[in-house]
Amino acid sequence: MSIPIAIIGTGIAGLSAAQALVEAGLDVQLFEKSRGSGGRMASKRSESGSLDLGAQYFTARDRRFAEAVQQWRARGWAAEWTPALYHSREGRLSPSPDEQVRWVGTPRMSSITRALLGALPVQFSCRITEVFRGDQHWHLQDADGNSHGPFSHAIIATPAPQATNLLAAAPKLASVAASVTMEPTWSVALSFAEPLDTPVEGCFVQDSPLDWLARTRSKPGRASSPDSWVLHASSEWSRHNLDLSRERVIEALHGAFAEMIGCAVPPPVESIAHRWLYARPAAAHQWGALSDGDLGLYACGDWCSSGRVEGAWLSGQETAKRLQAHLASHAWT
Ligand code: FAD
Ligand code: NAD
């Protein structure tokens, strides 16, 4: 067995890179600080069923990603979501149908990353704090003081602020990652015993603490009862209320929801709040990935690209492509 490639982060970017490298016959070893895979595509199991608290849906505009999504669909990992879409501006709710094809993981968003991870070797609950190069190979240090290695290459597939320290061995890459600002998002799920009396299934919101809401039962494969809604606060509201308690966030977003949805909103039977500190890059970039081929150090993630699921997946592919190209160009030396 060859010396594996270390991949830090099991979001869609890290798993996209892992899948491409494994398909090319290389060995990988993944590390993840959370208890499960998926990152911002993770779903939370609750008394009301699985809830997508992060990414809500994704679009596929790039041909390569569109092909991957078709494969996921054929395997039952993803399906088209066709919600009754609305928008809300200055407190006025209006239908806002469009032709855009939108996809979700089935039966939950995390089904895709779970399936991509498959049986690949991974260590969960393992926060990597340092990535360093010995004479020939890469080694990792985790927050519990354990060392891991050797690895032939290291791929950092975390949000930019968490990548900066891990890229210390390549100061130029570290400074690019440090230049990226990522905005937070407060996400709240509210579950109601009886269905709310509204046709809305998804809504883009302006002029409110909210910027998006979705009705879980309208997504393919989800339970229809209770009637669960996921509400996302805008970046601005989330930034200003970053340290508010979960209870206060639920109260504020429940209030904003009740004000805009145009029907009676009873007290929920379950409410959950989750704070995504690094939810989205403040601006899109066109780096594709960051790399120092001679060192063997790479970084990928949505922040290298469009700040969406598609961009993160493409960034993982780009990383794998660069790594393989570098290996091929040195195969004869
Ligand atoms: P992540 O998913 O963040 O994966 C990084 C992983 O690295 C995480 O699992 C993290 O735990 C792990 N990690 C971090 N540091 C360490 C460390 N030191 N050691 C080990 N592991 C570490 N996109 C869309 O296309 N459509 C949407 O509707 C949409 N809605 C969104 C709503 C919200 C609330 C949020 C937060 C995001 C949304 N996005 C959406 C964006 C989308 O989720 C992301 O672009 C995409 O999932 C990012 O994938 P990634 O692999 O780059 O990063
Ligand atoms: P998309 O094409 O559905 O949406 C892009 C943007 O176009 C929307 O944000 C919305 O402003 C507008 N829009 C699209 N359809 C509309 C309609 N029918 N009526 C009114 N406005 C409409 O999807 P995409 O380009 O794949 O973007 C993904 C979505 O993920 C975006 O909505 C983005 O805001 C969201 N996102 C959220 C976070 C977060 O942290 N909350 C992070 C990343 C992405």
pTM over 0.90: yes
Over 90: is that where the pLDDT of 24 sits?
Answer: yes
Question: pLDDT tens digits, residue range 33-48?
Answer: 999 999 999 999 999 9
pLDDT band at 118 (very low <50, low <70, confident <90, very high): very high
Give yes or no for residue 307 CB within 6 A of ligand 1: yes
Residues 18 and 68 in one domain: no
Neighbours of 293 (CB within 10 A): 15
**What is the rounded average pLDDT of the residues 167-177?**
98
| Closest CA to ligand 1's atom 7 | 9
Domain assignment of residue 160, yes or no: yes
Beta 138-142 vs 102-105: how paired, if at all?
A: unpaired
Residues 168 and 147 in one domain: yes
Domain assignment of residue 38, yes or no: no
Residues 196 and 103 in one domain: yes
Q: In sequence order, what are the beta bridge partners of 148?
A: 140
> What pLDDT was estimated at residue 116?
98
Over 90: is that where the pLDDT of 330 sits?
Answer: no
Over 80: is that where the pLDDT of 267 sits?
Answer: yes
The number of the ligand 1 atom at minimal distance from the alpha carbon of 42 is 2
Give yes or no for residue 128 CB within 6 A of ligand 1: yes
| Closest CA to ligand 2's atom 38 | 280
What are φ and ψ of residue 57, in 5° steps? -165, 170
Domain assignment of residue 134, yes or no: yes
* Order of strands across the sheet that contains 28-31: 122-123, 28-31, 5-8, 154-156, 297-299, 290-292
Tell me which residue has tokens 């919600």: 83
**What is the rounded average pLDDT of the residues 259-267?**
95
Give yes or no for residue 157 CB within 6 A of ligand 1: yes
pLDDT band at 1 (very low <50, low <70, confident <90, very high): low
Q: Please report which residue ranges of the chain form alpha helices under DSSP H.
A: 12-23, 63-74, 110-117, 160-166, 171-178, 235-240, 246-261, 309-329
Q: Report how far apart, in Å, the C-alpha atoms of 163 and of each of 132, 156, 169 are.
A: 13, 6, 12
CATH number at residue 295: 3.50.50.60
| Closest CA to ligand 1's atom 39 | 55
| Closest CA to ligand 2's atom 24 | 59
Which residue ranges make up the annotated binding site? Answer: 13, 32-33, 40, 56-61, 96-98, 128, 185, 302, 308-309
Over 60: is that where the pLDDT of 64 sits?
Answer: yes
Q: How far is the CA of 28 from the centre of ligand 1 (A)?
A: 20
**What is the rounded average pLDDT of the residues 186-209?**
98
Q: Which range, of 23-32, 63-72, 144-153, 324-333, averages the lowest pLDDT?
A: 324-333
Question: Which residues have CB under 8 Å from 55's CB, separation 6+?
Answer: 40, 41, 109, 309
Tokens of 227: 């009637």
Give yes or no for residue 101 CB within 6 A of ligand 2: no
Residues 150 and 193 in one domain: no
One-letter amino acid for residue 77 of the chain: W
> What pLDDT was estimated at residue 43?
92
Give yes or no for residue 280 CB within 6 A of ligand 2: yes
Q: Report how far apart, in Å, the C-alpha atoms of 204 and of each of 35, 244, 297 are.
A: 31, 24, 39
Residues 272 and 303 in one domain: no
The average confidence (pLDDT) of the chain is: 97
Domain assignment of residue 137, yes or no: yes
* Order of strands across the sheet that contains 227-233: 92-95, 85-89, 202-205, 210-215, 227-233, 182-192, 270-281
For 90, the domain range is 59-110+182-282
Residues 89 and 206 in one domain: yes
Over 70: is that where the pLDDT of 22 sits?
Answer: yes
| CA 119 – CA 177 distance, rounded (Å) | 30
Q: How far is the CA of 12 from the centre of ligand 1 (A)?
A: 7
Residues 153 and 247 in one domain: no
Percent of the chain residues past pLDDT 70, beyond the cut = 99
Residues 174 and 187 in one domain: no
Q: Choose the final residue of a domain: 263, 282, 301.
A: 282
Give yes or no for residue 287 CB within 6 A of ligand 2: no
Name the residue among 123, 165, 168 with its Cα closest to residue 146. 123
CATH number at residue 72: 3.90.660.10
Question: Which residues have CB under 8 Å from 301's CB, separation 6+?
Answer: 9, 11, 13, 157, 158, 159, 160, 163, 312, 315
| Closest CA to ligand 2's atom 23 | 59
Structural domain count, the chain: 2
| Closest CA to ligand 2's atom 1 | 59
Give yes or no for residue 87 CB within 6 A of ligand 2: yes
Q: What ipTM score was computed for the predicted complex, to two decimals?
A: 0.99
pLDDT band at 299 (very low <50, low <70, confident <90, very high): very high
> What pLDDT was estimated at residue 168?
98
Residues 219 and 272 in one domain: yes
**What is the rounded average pLDDT of the residues 130-134?**
96
Over 60: is that where the pLDDT of 274 sits?
Answer: yes
**What is the rounded average pLDDT of the residues 218-246?**
97
Over 90: is that where the pLDDT of 171 sits?
Answer: yes
Tokens of 83: 């919600």
Domain assignment of residue 264, yes or no: yes
Nearest bound ligand to CA 277?
A: 1
Please say whether the beta carbons of 151 and 3 come within 8 A. Answer: yes
| CA 102 – CA 84 distance, rounded (Å) | 12
Residues 302 and 275 in one domain: no
Domain assignment of residue 118, yes or no: no
pLDDT band at 333 (very low <50, low <70, confident <90, very high): low
